[in-house]
Amino acid sequence: MRSRVKTGIALLLTAIMLFPVYWMINVSLTKDTDMRHDPPHLFPVHGTLEGYSAVLHQQIPYLGTSFLVGLGTVALTLVISAPAGYSLAKLRPRGGGLLSFVLLMAQMIPGIIMAMGFYAIYLRLGVLNSAAGLVLADSTIAVPFGVLIFTAFMSGLPSELLLLAVHRNHRRRGVATALMDWLDGTLRMAGIVSVQVEVRATNAVAQAFYAKLGYRRAKAMPHYYQGIEDAWMLVKELRPADA
């Protein structure tokens, strides 16, 4: 009985939240002569598609312009924000924290202030009332926010080195050990506390090499390579750079 009451309350609250959407659709299907009917029709009694037809015939050019500007803004924002977010999240350049703070502060700048600056610049460049100008202006507002979003997203992605190998002519010269030492130091500087590698279960030489560097077996991975060959996941805990 209690579950039915909860379900009923949930359905009622959902209906209340969705009612404005329903009413918008209802009004869009209502004739102009019935718009001021008192009381209003809860259902489109004499429904019509005249409103949608008028929009399609009169607004298509404007909708096309909006679509073009929106698509261009998204594309330009992604091209700039994605690499910048990756750099701040994974490469952690010097001053990255300050840059993130500046990007956050940029969200507080009133749009009208930026519009005044854009007008003066666009007037000199001759790009007023153009799609390219709108794309550039909208991207200027969207890029700082996009960088913050991508930084937060990519910070949660695991860092991964896809392949590390030494040419057969240069093996047994300490090259692999030097590479791994460099990698450990870089990871420590980036604040990463552990690193994992996958090695074939049949590759005893590689397993011995990683064991010498402090890696331990963490998990067996059946059929890891091409769905056929098993592998071991090896894990090494890293000490902080200043430890």
Tens of pLDDT, residue by residue over 165-223, are 788 888 888 888 898 888 888 888 777 788 888 889 999 988 998 999 899 998 898 98
pLDDT at 6: 86
pTM score over 0.75 = no
CA-closest candidate to residue 79, choices 146, 32, 131: 146
pLDDT at 190: 72
What's the burial of 73, exposed, middle or buried (CB within 10 Å: 0-12/13-18/19+)?
Answer: buried
Three-state DSSP class for 232? strand
Contact between 180 and 202 under an 8 Å Cβ cutoff? The reply is no
| β partners of residue 200 | 231
Indicate the pLDDT class of residue 160, thresholds 50, 70 and 90: low
pLDDT at 40: 81
Segments making up each domain of the chain, as ranges = 2-48, 58-155, 168-237
Tell me the C-alpha distance between 178 and 85, whole Å: 30
pLDDT at 21: 93
**Torsions phi, psi for 223 (to 5 deg):** 55, 40
CA dihedral angle for residue 187, residue 192, residue 194, residue 200, rounded to 10 degrees: -50
Per-chain mean pLDDT for the chain = 85
Model confidence pLDDT, tens digit, residues 38-50 = 788 888 777 888 8
Fold observed for domain 168-237: Aminopeptidase (3.40.630)
Model confidence pLDDT, tens digit, residues 58-87 = 888 888 888 999 999 999 999 999 999 988
